[in-house]
Amino acid sequence: MLNGTFIIRQIKRIKMKSIKNTSGQGCHPGGWRKRFSGIRSLDRFDGILILMVLLYAMSLSSLSLLRYNTFQLEYDLAVFNQAFWNMVVNGELMTNSLEQLAHNMAVGSHIGVHFSPILFSLIPFYALLPGPHILLIAQSVLLALGAVPIYLCARELLGKGSGCIVAVLYLIYPPLHGVNLYDFHEVAFLPMLLGFALWGLISGRRNLMLIFGLLSLCVKEDVSLIVFMIGLVGLYQTRGESVKHRWHFFVLMGMAVLSFIVFFLVIQPFFIPSASSIGSGFLNQYINPVATATQHSSYRIDYVLQTFGPLLFIPLAAPEIILIGIPSFVEILFSGSVYYSVYFHYSALIIPVIFFATIISLTRIRSWDEKNKKRLYLPILCLMLISSLICMGMYSPAVKLLGTKGTYDEEAIGSHREFVEQVISIIPRDVSISTQYNLLPQVSSRKLIWVDYHEGADIILLDNAFAWRAKDFSDNQKEIDEGYNLILNKNYLSLYVNKKNPSLQSELNRSLSSF
């Protein structure tokens, strides 16, 4: 590993050089300390970044809503929407019936499953526009904002134009699109928050690092591993300083350990009596990685290629930054097969680390160029852009989703969606619903919902337009026939009412008479 002080020395060297640079490609004069601590006016490169962020947020919001409107989003979105709905409408602490059943919880709060207090910051927005739509839009906006700390750091170290290019590399990164388009998850906060923490580490702005490192701990319990590593790497980089000047790193490491222990030993057992099994499952990939390494090994190779390939493996030239993400990378790579896939959300844990390692690696390449009178930096940067565009076309979930347009009758599915929404709208909010996976988000704005057959549900709602999902109820058809009355069978939609609730059946029959 290269000397940890290289980063700070490189910042100083580049800032001093930028003072003499009259071409406009360097950073604003005034010294790196002043530059990092001051507020400057916006320039055209900042404007380009703002436009790129807005374009990404609007485009991916549109694609996320397309997935929702075509019934492609399922369980996780329903979990979060129901949790927010119960918080805003019923004043309950992120309760949802899906996780309550899945984890055998006395009180089904999401806080007992994952430590994510950062979600409370979205409650005012959800209260203004309740429903899955606002969560999907918020997710796209948050992930788009992850480009901001990447741009700011790259601009400082590599120059304005290069800063924009690195931000583009982030916004067209296929694993990012996978995070964005797979339901909704709290890790959408991570690229922005962890990005500012890493920028603080690299730039020497330790207050910035500490604040955003602590905020990152509020995203999810396993982020504590990353935050701990930031503190550890920071201690190594500043090993020549006195202990009293390095307190930020000790605080960060201490809070990371504390949050991890409190969640797994206090919060989770409070909600889930059998929480020890969840904790052991979380740690299993670290304790016994060999046991899982032999399973689906080719998929793991694919994941590594799809993660580092767009960036030509350049991030690996900054091992001290990559080291920060190693525990999370192990968590992903040695867990179940859905973890190591660019089509799911787990990559959010390592995306910020990969891009800040990319920035440091590019800084080293340019330094090597200047030292050896070579011109490799710009060709490599251009090749990274070309590689990222090719990889985006090959396996970005966003590009694949766009490719499906035209393969189905948009008017027909739009008409079907309107009919489904109309039927759901007549079902009282205090009525429990049991339904198939891809209808869960549509019915999740209520207190009680369940996936697949659930004995005692007031309503069973099936959509045979998606027969592969509706067939999950086929094993319980006898129980359905004995305990429920079919009151609607139209446009592929079947609505059953519990025979023990005749008043509900009468109410729904009156509403359905106008259909």
Q: What is the 3-state secondary structure (H, E, C) of 203-266?
A: HCCHHHHHHHHHHHHCCCCCHHHHHHHHHHHHHHHCCCCCHHHCHHHHHHHHHHHHHHHHHHHH
Which range is least confidently modeled, 13-27, 147-161, 208-222, 238-252?
13-27
Q: What is the pLDDT of residue 167?
A: 98
Residue 373 neighbours by CB under 8 Å, 6+ apart: none
CB pairs under 8 A, 24+ apart, for 55-58?
A: 56/140, 56/143, 56/144, 56/147, 56/171, 57/137, 57/140, 57/141, 57/144, 58/140
Question: Which three-class secondary structure state does DSSP give residue 159?
Answer: coil
Mean pLDDT calculated for residue range 34-49 = 76
Average confidence (pLDDT) over 419-428: 96
Q: In the predicted model, is pLDDT for residue 6 greater than 60?
A: no
Q: Say what the pLDDT of residue 298 is.
A: 81
Mean pLDDT, residues 366-390: 93
Give me Rg for the CA atoms of the chain. 25
Give the per-residue pLDDT at 248: 96
pLDDT, position 409 = 87
With a cut of 50, say whether residue 17 has pLDDT above it: no
- More confident site: 285 or 206: 206
**How does pLDDT run across 265-276, given as a tens digit for each residue?**
999 999 988 765
Task: Tell me how far apart the 2 most distant CA atoms of the chain are, in Å.
Answer: 85
User: What pLDDT, on the 0 to 100 scale, is given for residue 41?
Assistant: 83
Top-confidence residue, 276 or 356: 356
Question: Does the reported pTM lie above 0.85?
Answer: yes
Strand 449-451 to 459-463 pairing: unpaired
Tell me the pLDDT tens digit for each residue of 477-500: 999 999 999 999 999 999 999 999
Q: How confident is the model at residue 443, as a pLDDT?
A: 98
Task: Give 3-state DSSP helix, strand, coil % of the chain, rounded to 5.
Answer: 70, 5, 25
Span 179-195, pLDDT tens digits: 999 999 999 999 999 99
Residue 297 has pLDDT above 80, yes or no: no
Average pLDDT over residues 110-134: 97
pLDDT of residue 28: 36
Q: How confident is the model at residue 348 (pLDDT cuts 50, 70, 90)?
A: very high
pLDDT at 32: 37
- The mean pLDDT value for 265-290 works out to 69
How far is Cα of residue 506 from the mean position of the Cα atoms in its chain? 44
Please state, for a pLDDT cut of 70, what percent of the chain lies above it: 88
Mean pLDDT of the chain: 90
What is the average per-residue pLDDT within 379-389? 98
Specify the higher pLDDT residue, 252 or 38.
252
Task: Report the percent of the chain where pLDDT is more than 90.
Answer: 78
Name 418's Cβ contacts closer than 8 Å, sequence gap at least 6: none
Q: What are the residue boundaries of the structural domains of the chain, listed by start?
A: 6-403, 410-512
Q: Using one digit for the tens of pLDDT, what is the confidence trace for 427-467?
A: 999 999 999 999 999 999 999 999 999 999 999 999 999 99
What pLDDT score does 1 carry?
38
Does residue 295 sit in helix, strand or coil? Answer: coil
Residue 495's nearest CA partner among 466, 464, 468, 474 is: 464
The arithmetic mean of pLDDT across residues 71-75, rounded, is 96
